[in-house]
Amino acid sequence: MPSAPRSARWITPVALVLVWLVLGGLLGPYAGKLGEVATNDQASFLPKSAESTKVIDEQERFQQDETLPAVVVWTADEGRIDRSQRTAATRALASLDGSPGLTGKASPAVPSKDGRALQGAVQVRANLGDDLPGVLERVRDATDDVKGTKAQLGGPASSQADLSDAFAGIDGILLVVALVVVLLILLLVYRSVLLPIIIILGAVFALSLACSVVYMLAQDGVVSVDGQVQGILSILVIGAATDYALLLSSRFREELAVRGDRFAAMRSALRGSFGAITASAATVALGLLALLLSDLTNNRALGPVGAIGIVCAVISTFTFLPAALVLMGRAAFWPARPKPVTDPDAVSESGASGADAPAPGLWGRIAAQVDRTPRRIWVSTLVGLIACAAFSPQLNSKGVPLSEIFVNDVPSVAAQRTLSEHFPGGSGNPAVVIADADRSREVSRAAARTEGVSAAVPVTKSGRPGQGPPLVVDGRVRIDAVLTGSADSDDAKQTVQRLRSSVHAVSGADAVVGGYTAQQADIQTTAEHDRSLIVPVVLLIILVILAALLRALVIPVLLVATVALNFLATLGVAALVFEHLFGFTGTDASVPLYGFVFLVALGVDYNIFLLTRVREEALRHGTRAGIRRGLTATGGVITSAGVVLAATFAALVVIPLAFLVQIAFIVAFGVLLDTLVVRSLLVPALARDIGPAVWWPGALRRR
C-alpha cells in the first residue's frame, strides 16, 4: 500500500505533459494562420475621433471608396523630358481609368521644374488586401513603356504593398530567429542540453495557445491584429515565457540540491517563485491593457492581444514546465547537475554562510561591493543615468518620412527618393477638404490663400479637378488642396493645421480636412495625448502591485522611479543612436509609448524577482544580509533572463521596418541597462544605504 501514493504522484506531471503535447499539435498551426485575420491597412488604425477619420466617412457619402494615391514618377534617361514623352506618360495614365482596383480619373503627367522628370497619380481603392500587389502591377505595366524614361511607383499605395510584403512570412521567419537566438543563449549560459529544450518547448506551447485564442477573437471581430501586433505578440510570449521559466527552473535547481526529492523541491520552488512570477505577469498584462485608453486603434489592439500572450506564458510556466522538470529531475540539468547540499542550515541558498561571509562567484563579489560602498555605487550610477536621460528630448517622435519607413531599399522608398529630388511639393497626395456645396467657392478661396497650399479646386463630375461642374452629393463637395511641401513632411503637417483653421473659419461651411498628411498629423497629436494619459496610469498600476507584493511603500516608489529613469536614459541613448548611427530623422509617433510600456512593465520584472528574494532573505537574516544574499542568489538567473529578453526583442530587426527596428533597439538596450545597472547596482545600493526603512510602513522595517 505505501507504494501506491508514490506511484500516483507521477500521474499529474505525466498527464500535464501529454495534454500540452496534444494541445501543441492541435494549436500549433494557429501561429501560422494568424496572418489570415491580420490587416496591414494603416487607415483602419486611425483615431476614431480624428477629423481625418470624419473625412473618410464623408468620402463614403460621395460613393467614393477610401483611396490611397499611387504616384508614378518618370525620369529621363538623358537630358530633359520632351513633349512626346509627357504626352505618352499622360496617355499611359489615362489608359488606367476604370481599371479594377482604381477609382476616379488619373491625373495628367506633370513635369518637374528641372525638366528631367514627370509625375502623375492614380487613386487606388483602399482595403484591397491581397489584391493590392496585382493592381499596382497593372499600373507598372501600363506606365513602364514611355520611351527614354525610367518609371518608378511610389506614394502611400506602393508603401502599403511593400509593408504587406515586409510582413509576409513574419510568423515563420521571426519565430525561427527568436527561438534559435534564445536556444543558443540558454545553451551557452546554462551549459545544459535538455533544460533549454524544455524551456523553448514551453514557450512554443504558450505561443500556440496565445495565437489560437487571438485568432478566434480576431475572427469574431473582438480584437484587431496587424503585422506589427502579430510580430510583437510572438516576441513578447517567447521572451516572457522564457524569463518565467528561467526563474522557476533556477529555484527548482536550488531546492533540488537542498531537498533531493524532486516533488518536494518543485513544491518549494513553486511557493518561492509564484508570487514573483504572477506579480511580474500582472504588471506587464495590466500595463498592456492600459493601452485600451488610447484613441489609436493599433494601440488598443496591442493591449488585449499582448495581455492574452502574457497569461498564456504564465499558464505554460505553472503547468507544463513543473511537470516536465519533475519528470526529468536532475537529468534536466545534465551535464551540470545540481550537487546535493549536506548542511542546508549552514549554507544558505545564496551560497553565503553569514551576513558578512564572502559568497563565491561573480555575483557574490558584486553583492559584497554593493554592501561595502553602497552610496558611491548608487550616486555614480544615478549620475550616469541622468546624463543619458538628458538627451531624451532630442528624440524626434513626430513621425517617420515615407522614405524611411523601410530600412532597406524597397521600390516605394526608391521612388520616394526620386520624387524628393525632382518634386518638392505634394501634388500627388493632396489634402482632402469636404464642405457644404453652397460655400464651396468661399472654402476653395480660403484654402488657396492658406500658406503652404499651392492650389485648391473642387473635384468635378468628370473626376478631374477644375474640369466641369463640382460633384455635389447630399449638399457636400470635395475640394483637393495641393500642398507645396511633401505630404510626409513636418511643413505639410503644419500646413494642414493652418488649412483647418482657414476652412473652419468659413461660416456655414462645416468644412473638415483629411487626406494622408492630415491622418499623420492626427496620429501624432493623438499619440502625444495617449502618452500623457497612459504613462501615469501604468506607473500607478505598477506601484500598486509592488506595494501589495512587498508590503511596503518606500521600496515600491524607489523601484518605479528607477525604472522610469531607466526609460528616459534609454530614450536619450536611442536619440543619439537613431540620428547619428542609424540615420533616422524621426521615429513613429507610437514608439515612445510602446517603449515605455514594454520597458517599464518588463523592466520592473527583474526588480520584482530581486526584491521578492531579498525580502524572503531579510525575513530570516535582516535587511543588510537579505540584500546581499538576494542579489547573490538571483544575479545570474536575472541577468541571463534579461539577456534572453533583449535578444528576443532584437529579433524584430528581421522585419525591415523602421518602427520595429526602433522598438527592438529601445527594448533590447533598455532591458540590458535595467538588468546590468539598475537592478544589479542602483536598486540594491539604494536599499542598502537606506536600510530597514525601505520596508516602511511594513513590519519588516523593525527587524
Place of cell 537630358: 79
Tell me, yes or no, whether 99 and 230 share the same domain.
no
Can you give the CATH number for the domain in which 98 is found? 3.30.70.260
554 residue type, one letter: V
Contact of 616 with 226, CB cutoff 8 Å: no
The CATH code of the domain that includes 495 is 3.30.70.1320
In whole angstroms, what is the distance from residue 251 CA to residue 265 CA?
9
Min mean pLDDT across 301-315, 412-426, 659-673 is at 412-426
* Confidence band for 146, pLDDT divided at 50, 70 and 90: confident
The C-alpha cell 519565430 sits at 175
Whole-angstrom Cα distance, residue 690 to residue 624? 10
Cα distances (Å, whole numbers) of residue 101 to 41, 65, 136, 285, 618: 15, 10, 9, 41, 68
**Maximal CA-CA distance, the chain:** 101
**For 20-35, what is the mean pLDDT?**
79
C-alpha to C-alpha distance for 394 and 288, rounded to whole angstroms: 26
Q: Is residue 284 part of a domain?
A: yes
Q: Among candidates 276, 266, 244, which has minimal Cα distance to 330?
A: 266
Mean pLDDT confidence for 221-238: 81
**Pair (107, 173) in one structural domain:** no
- Specify whether 340 is located in the same domain as 365: no
pLDDT tens digit string along 293-313? 888 877 888 889 999 999 999
Domain shared by 554 and 621, yes or no: yes
Judge whether residue 559 has pLDDT over 80: yes
* Distance of alpha carbon 511 from alpha carbon 547, whole angstroms: 51
**Which one-letter DSSP state was computed for residue 112?**
-
**pLDDT at residue 339 in the model:** 67
In a domain, 9, yes or no: yes
Task: For residues 226 and 36, give the distance between their C-alpha atoms in angstroms, rounded to a whole number.
Answer: 10
Task: Name which of 595, 669, 661, 671 is nearest 299 in CA terms.
Answer: 595
**Contact yes or no for 515/576 (Cβ under 8 A):** no
| Residue-wise pLDDT tens digits, 437-448 | 899 899 999 999
CA 298 to chain CA mean position, Å: 10
Angle between the N-to-C axes of helices 362-372 and 623-650, in degrees from 0 to 180, rounded to the nearest 10: 130
At 529-542, the pLDDT tens digits run 888 899 899 999 98
Do 155 and 259 belong together in one domain?
no
CA 405 to centroid of chain Cα atoms:
15
Question: Which residue, among 340, 345, 254, 369, has the nearest Cα to 621 in the 3D structure?
Answer: 345
179 within 8 A of 31, measured Cβ to Cβ: no
Q: What's the rounded mean pLDDT across residues 304-326?
A: 93
Is 649 part of any domain? yes
At 338, the amino acid letter reads: P
CB atoms within 10 A of CB 147: 8
Rg for the chain, CA atoms, rounded: 30
Which of the 8 DSSP states describes residue 581? I
- Given the DSSP bridges, would you call strands 476-483 and 453-458 parallel, antiparallel or unpaired? antiparallel
Q: How far apart are CA 70 and CA 160, in angstroms?
A: 10
User: Do 238 and 179 meet the contact criterion of CB atoms below 8 Å apart?
Assistant: yes
Sheet of strand 512-514: strand arrangement = 453-458, 476-483, 431-436, 512-514
Residue 684 CB neighbour total at 10 angstroms:
27
SS3 call for 113: coil
232 in Cβ contact with 302 (< 8 Å) = yes
Q: Which three cell numbers stand for residue 416?
A: 520616394
Assigned domain for 660 exists: yes
| Residue 595, φ and ψ in degrees, nearest 5 | -60, -40
Report d(CA 337, CA 192) in Å as an integer: 9
Per the DSSP assignment, residues forming a β-bridge with 477 are: 435
Domain boundary among the residues 161, 190, 225 is at: 161
Instruction: Tell me if residue 325 falls in helix, strand or coil.
Output: helix
Position 591 in a domain: yes
Strand partners, 69: 123
List, in order, residues 6 or more apart from 27 with CB less than 8 Å away: 208, 209, 211, 212
593, part of any domain:
yes
Through-space distance between the first and last CA atoms of the chain, rounded to whole angstroms: 48
pLDDT, residue 577, reads 93
At 500 the pLDDT is 93
The C-alpha cell of 527 is what?
499619440
Q: Mean pLDDT across the stretch 157-163?
A: 81
pLDDT at 520: 85
**pLDDT tens figures, 182-194:** 888 888 777 788 8
**Is the confidence at residue 668, as pLDDT, over 70?**
yes
pLDDT of amino acid 344: 47
Other Cβ atoms less than 10 A from the Cβ of 372: the count is 10
pLDDT of residue 29: 78
**Number of Cβ within a 10 Å radius of residue 434:** 25
E strand residue ranges, 411-475 = 431-436, 453-458
What cell does 295 get? 484613441
More confident residue, 655 or 439: 439
Confidence at residue 126, expressed as pLDDT on a 0 to 100 scale? 74
Task: State whether 139 and 233 are in the same domain.
Answer: no
The Cα–Cα gap between 606 and 594 comes to: 19
Which of 161, 179, 202 represents a domain boundary (last residue)?
Answer: 161
311 and 394: one domain? no
Mean pLDDT value across the chain: 83
Residue 489 C-alpha cell reads as 513632411
Question: How many CB atoms neighbour CB 99 within 10 A?
Answer: 15
Task: Please tell me whether the peptide bond between 335 and the residue prior to it is cis, using omega within 30 degrees of 0.
Answer: yes
Same domain, 240 and 156: no
Q: Is residue 43 in a domain?
A: no
Would 123 be classed as within a structural domain? Answer: yes
Residues 452-510: tens digit of each pLDDT: 888 888 877 655 555 667 888 888 888 888 888 877 778 888 999 999 999 999 998 99
Helix pair angle (411-422, 155-167), 10° resolution: 150
Per-residue pLDDT for 64 more than 70? no
The percent of residues above 70 in pLDDT, for the chain, comes to: 89
pTM confidence score: 0.81
Query: Interior CA angle at 472 toward 471 and 478, to 5°?
Result: 70
Angle, helices 362-372/683-690, rounded to nearest 10 degrees: 40
pLDDT mean over 589-599: 86
Residue 682 in this model has a pLDDT that exceeds 90: yes
How far, in whole angstroms, is CA 607 from its chain's centroid? 22
CA distances from 504 to 55, 453, 496 (A): 14, 16, 12
SS3 600: helix
Same domain, 153 and 296: no
Task: Identify whether residues 179 and 317 lie together within a single domain.
Answer: yes
Residue 467 has what pLDDT?
61
The total number of structural domains that make up the chain: 4
Do 595 and 461 fall within a single domain?
A: no
Nearest to 688 by CA among 381, 353, 275, 251: 381
Are both 624 and 492 inside the same structural domain? no
More confident residue, 627 or 184: 627
Query: In the listed set 109, 141, 161, which residue is the last one of a domain according to the structure?
Result: 161
User: Which of 3-12, 286-295, 341-350, 473-482 has the least mean pLDDT?
Assistant: 341-350
CATH number at residue 604: 1.20.1640.10
Question: How many other C-beta atoms are found inside a 10 Å radius of the C-beta of residue 553?
Answer: 16
At residue 296, φ and ψ (nearest 5 deg) are -90, 125
* Domain containing residue 242: 1-37+169-346
Amino acid at 561: A
Angle (CA) 472-476-479 rounded to 5° is: 85
